[in-house]
Structure 1
Amino acid sequence: MPDGLAARRLTCRLRDGDPGAAFTRRWRARALTGAALLAVCSVFHLGTAAIGVAHAAGAAANAPSQAGRPALPVPNMPAPPRASLPGFNPPPASPGTTASGPVRAQPARMPFYVATRGTTTIYVLGTLHVGDPADYPANQPFRAPILGALAASPTLALELSPDELLVSQDDVSKYGVCRRDCLPGLLPEPLWHKLAVRLRGNPAALDAIKKMRPWLASLLVETYDSLSAGLQTEYGSEAQLQNVYIRTRGKIVGLETLPQQMRAFTGLTLAQQREMLAQDLVQTPAQNVEDVRTLHRLWRVGDADAIAAWQAAKSEKLARDKRISDSIDNKIVYDRNRRFVSRMLLIAAPNKPVFVAIGALHLGGRKGVLELLRQRGFVVEAG
């Protein structure tokens, strides 16, 4: 079944009923067709993101946090009622027309960079784990330089390989879901009350989240915000890249293993998990939705350093405990940045370019992937 048709059928199921099963099938289908997981980060702070829950998920922007967090699926996540999606604006069915004829839609610019050291080339694309159909026009889903880089690269490297994505939901359930209602007892009473009030319009979600550990509950809240912003997981960058890449090549690898990605969350202390969830609840849902849209706009412009600066200011504003908040960023973003670069250098070889696609929030700033590549002797230029 073509990816587009499968996505439309899954979307209809989610819209019309059977939300829990639809989310499970949706995640399985995305894995089988090579789509990346939703950003579990807002998991890495962009990873705001994801959309299959147990981010109800990698969508995840990494929503605002999606760009940097891993794209982990949330198992059996109840869909938010359509009435709870303020500001949802379905994309137009066509790009529109003018007096002179149809308007030719242009792909999003996206953060795209070329890193070279001698005859070794690494192409780096900053992704969002969710997106809008308008980001990827059917006639040309990516800019010409990006398509050219894909065609020139024997290897496409994502955060996780497609094979790892196939089993990811089982691990998320194993480490993020309790057999009994555990979340109320793991949170301070004021924080639990705040979360319950946030989800009072969705009793099914409130009932499901009671069995989640705080880090997974945080991803669920972020995922709802991504959905409310009108973004869709099937239009995440990784899924669209694979649709283009596997037609002519097919060698797709992961920059980290599923256990490594899971440890970014399961290794968080209870204080760190509480801080993650508390940050998601500082603002109103409408404010969180606006942040998702702002991140999406910045990503479309394609400046990695501007995205990193915006995220740093946002983290400063939302942090309840600066020390703990910084430790979360180290665990979920910066430690992974170093792992990504080490893996890139193992894959890359002279005259054999590698195309790397990772959450956009991993790229910019003094601890970002681009700066780490410069420290390894690469010349990095905007593509």
Structure 2
Amino acid sequence: MEMSVPNAVAAAEPIKLDAVPRRGALYRIHHDGKTSYLFGTIHVGKQGFFPLEPEVTRALADSTSLVLELDTRAHRPFEQALAKYGAYPAGDTITRHLSPRALAQLNKALAKAGISLQSVAGYRPWLVANILVGSEIEKHGYHRSNGVEGFLLSAAIAQKKQVHELESADYQLSLFASLDDAQQERYLVENLEELENGKALQKSAGLIDAWSNADAARIATMARELTAGDSVSAVFMDRTLLGKRNPEMTNHIERIMQTDQVAFVGIGLLHLVGENGIPELLRQRGYSVEKVY
């Protein structure tokens, strides 16, 4: 007599694992017989974003060096730059530099975030604005400890690769200090208003979501939204954080590509977007730039 076999066993198939989704944007750069890679990162994230897509991990494994905006392992230079550009001299406080209306808005936002005025009183308005936006993002599950740079660094260290910085913490934070008192107050107020109406989270989460799905069209849309208009925040993003830095980063990337056999460059996603983005700037300088995805 034949024994019946349960359908589930009879029809058993190999377990299929879900493919790792594509995230960010990846470019392959060719010049003078050398190949390097550009990968768009985000500075905050979730643990579920890792591991990255196999094309990214293979590109990093094939590289001889990792290039980041900053080596995030170096805490002291960042802390020194924060003290230099983000804090007032001893005895001075933010309350002396804000209008009564702006100070009232700040107190309201701090109370909502559960942050005391005393704890940030010595900080300049641009830094307080960034702290509050960062706090709001963290409440919704996005953490700097899960930023892409940390994942890339861990992999590069395990693979015993050289790590290069494109910038210094001193330089990055000096850009915010280029805003005068009136601009800093406006920058703070704009961010407080967007925290209040939900746009701050909407913009940040929108960009992170576009990155997590490698959604090129939405990434481009988010870049336009973040740089459009005449607000201090948008103009600063467009002209300084992107417009000024992109050509400087491109210069540095060129120098690294001339000396390193294969460089894997991981930089903020917005630096790769549009006609003034680093891929396009490299094309204009005679590099062959191929978008992998």
- The Cα of 1:220 is off from its aligned counterpart by 0.6
Contact 2:36 / 2:264 at 8 angstroms: preserved in 1? Answer: yes
So what's the TM-score if we normalise by structure 1?
A: 0.66
RMSD over aligned CA atoms reads 2.6
TM alignment of 1:288-303, pairs within 5 A: 288-303=200-215
Distance of aligned partners of 1:217 and 1:230 in 2 relative to their CA distance in 1, 3 Å threshold: same
Task: Confirm or deny that 1:250 pairs with 2:164.
Answer: no
- Cα distance between partner residues in 2 of 1:210 and 1:176: 11
- Cα distance between partner residues in 1 of 2:225 and 2:156: 35
**Aligned partner letter, 1:235:** N
- Cα distance between partner residues in 1 of 2:226 and 2:78: 29
Task: Confirm or deny that 1:175 pairs with 2:175.
Answer: no
**Aligned partner letter, 1:207:** Q
- Cα distance between partner residues in 2 of 1:187 and 1:316: 26
Distance of aligned partners of 1:171 and 1:332 in 2 relative to their CA distance in 1, 3 Å threshold: same
**Aligned partner letter, 1:168:** F
**Aligned partner letter, 1:316:** A
Q: Which residue among 115, 120, 126 is the counterpart of 2:29?
A: 115
TM alignment of 1:1-383, pairs within 5 A: 104=18, 106-136=20-50, 141-162=51-72, 164-178=74-88, 179-180=90-91, 182-202=93-113, 204-283=115-194, 284=196, 286-303=198-215, 306-316=218-228, 319-320=230-231, 325-327=234-236, 329-349=238-258, 352-383=261-292
- Cα distance between partner residues in 2 of 1:185 and 1:102: 62
- The Cα of 1:345 is off from its aligned counterpart by 0.5
2:198 partner SS: helix
Query: Greater helix share, 1 or 2?
Result: 2
Contact 2:129 / 2:192 at 8 angstroms: preserved in 1? Answer: no
- The Cα of 1:231 is off from its aligned counterpart by 0.7
**Aligned partner letter, 2:167:** E
**Aligned partner letter, 1:218:** A
Distance of aligned partners of 1:276 and 1:350 in 2 relative to their CA distance in 1, 3 Å threshold: same
The Cα offsets for residues 40-74 of structure 1, whole Å up to 9 and x where unpaired, read as xxxxxxxxxxxxxxxxxxxxxxxxxxxxxxxxxxx
- State the structure with more CA Rg: 2
Identity of aligned residues (%): 27
So what's the TM-score if we normalise by structure 2?
A: 0.84
Contact 1:238 / 1:357 at 8 angstroms: preserved in 2? Answer: yes
**Aligned partner letter, 1:259:** D
In structure 1, list runs of 5 or more residues that go unmatched: 1-99
Distance of aligned partners of 1:275 and 1:370 in 2 relative to their CA distance in 1, 3 Å threshold: farther
Contact 1:214 / 1:273 at 8 angstroms: preserved in 2? Answer: yes
**Aligned partner letter, 2:256:** I
**Aligned partner letter, 1:309:** T
2:208 partner SS: helix
Contact 2:31 / 2:287 at 8 angstroms: preserved in 1? Answer: yes
